[in-house]
Amino acid sequence: MNKNYYAIIMAGGIGSRFWPISRTSFPKQFIDILGTGKTLIQNTYDRFLKICPKENIYVVTNESYAELVKSQLPDMTDGQILTEPVMRNTAPCVAYGCFKIESMNPDAVIVVAPSDHLILDEAGFVKSIEQSLQTAQNNNCLITLGIKPSRPDTGYGYIQYTDEVIDGQFHKVKTFTEKPTLDIAKTFIQSGDFLWNAGIFVWSAKTIISNFGTHLPDMHEIFAEARSVYNTEDERNHINTAYQQCTNISIDYGIMEKAANVYVLPSEFGWSDLGTWASIYQLAEKDYVGNAVIPAEKVIMYDSSNCMVNVPDEKLVVLQGLHDYIVVESNNTLLICPRDQEQNVKQVVADVKQKFGTKYI
């Protein structure tokens, strides 16, 4: 296994679209949301064990989730769990992880990935990441993984690519487009040169740090100044101060959409970002009338179809005459809403917070 290969798992999100199961104090990456026996972050960690040494895997998360990471990934040392004092989107998260790794190994090649995605074809995923790491090691480029789209989905970002390639299969990126309308998404699919943006990145430490210097120079300066304190007892205090100075910006907008040397690897490995209850419904096992029930032990359904039901396993639930609904109960909260209106859940969470404070959030 290549000692220069590293992984950064981003695990700081609060997963509000999966409320009420996902809470601010216990977000979806720490939940076995598909009923597989492992949480999403545990599955993510296990995938990267096949790609790089376990001591080269880092998790960046909010400091309030550090104990959750330790309990779910007991093999990780404290030095591998990088805590953020405040949420500042993904660019500071990436900068922190990559500058810290670069301070230890200037020859590092790094994959950065979210903690809460589903990968059905792990062998295909490992192959794509290893190919990307090799190409990033040998070329001055920023690589993103693109998923061949199966439908005109409006919930994903899209990557348009050209015929210009390096290493035979990494295509030069032409444009990034965030969550288009349905008509535009259909046009993208028909054109044949668009991919879903999986939010998985691969680059050498040298290349990404150089691009921070070019496109986010203030952030580059903040984390470059910390080189002397990484892996010392002063690291946390320095980082806490650094984050207060950081712009709230994503790595996509801050660097990937601006850099000239971005390439995409068209990939197929059974990927889903598990961003909504609809994505869980699509993946879950269903009965003959389309009901997906997790867990199913004490749920009885009459004249009901195409429902997504997730309730405590000790609770008896009886549903009658319900079609195309989401029914979720957790943490003393019950949510019932039409499946085609689940995009309103974020607003519901905001309304609940305004009316009842953070007790139910």
Task: Give dist(CA 316, CA 318) in Å, integer.
Answer: 7
Q: Mean pLDDT for the chain?
A: 93
Q: Does 195 score more than 90 pLDDT?
A: yes
User: What does the pLDDT read at residue 94?
Assistant: 97
What DSSP character marks residue 256? I
Prediction pTM value: 0.93
> Between the CA atoms of 239, 240, 246 and 249, what dihedral angle is there, to the nearest 10 degrees?
90
Question: 5-272 adopts what CATH topology?
Answer: Spore Coat Polysaccharide Biosynthesis Protein SpsA; Chain A (3.90.550)
User: What does the pLDDT read at residue 14?
Assistant: 81
User: 160 is written with which tokens?
Assistant: 């348009």
User: What does the pLDDT read at residue 201?
Assistant: 97
User: What does the pLDDT read at residue 208?
Assistant: 98
Q: What tens digit of pLDDT does each residue of 123-133 get? A: 999 999 999 99
Compute CA distances 339 → 201, 255, 282, whole Å.
Answer: 32, 35, 12
Q: What tens digit of pLDDT does each residue of 30-81 get? A: 998 887 889 999 999 999 999 999 999 999 999 999 999 999 999 999 999 9
Q: What angle do CA 158, 20, 149 make, to 5 degrees?
A: 20
Q: What band does 150 get if pLDDT is binned at 50, 70 and 90? A: confident
User: What does the pLDDT read at residue 235?
Assistant: 95
Q: Does 313 score more than 90 pLDDT?
A: no
Pairing outcome for strands 325-330 and 333-338: antiparallel
Q: Does 219 score more than 90 pLDDT?
A: yes
Least reliable range by pLDDT among 77-91, 95-109, 117-131, 182-196 = 182-196
Ranked by mean pLDDT, the top range of 33-42, 153-162, 202-211, 244-253 is 202-211
- pLDDT over 90 percentage in the chain: 76
DSSP string, 136-203: HHHSS-EEEEEEPPSS--TTS-EEEEEEEEETTTEEEEEEEE-S--HHHHHHHHHHS-EEEEEEEEEE
Q: What tens digit of pLDDT does each residue of 103-117 get? A: 999 999 999 999 999
Q: For residue 57, give the H/E element and its range.
A: strand 57-62
Q: What tens digit of pLDDT does each residue of 316-338 get? A: 999 999 999 999 998 889 999 99
Q: What tens digit of pLDDT does each residue of 242-301 get? A: 999 999 999 999 999 999 999 999 999 999 888 788 888 888 889 999 999 987 789 999
Domain with CATH 3.90.550.10 in the chain: 5-272
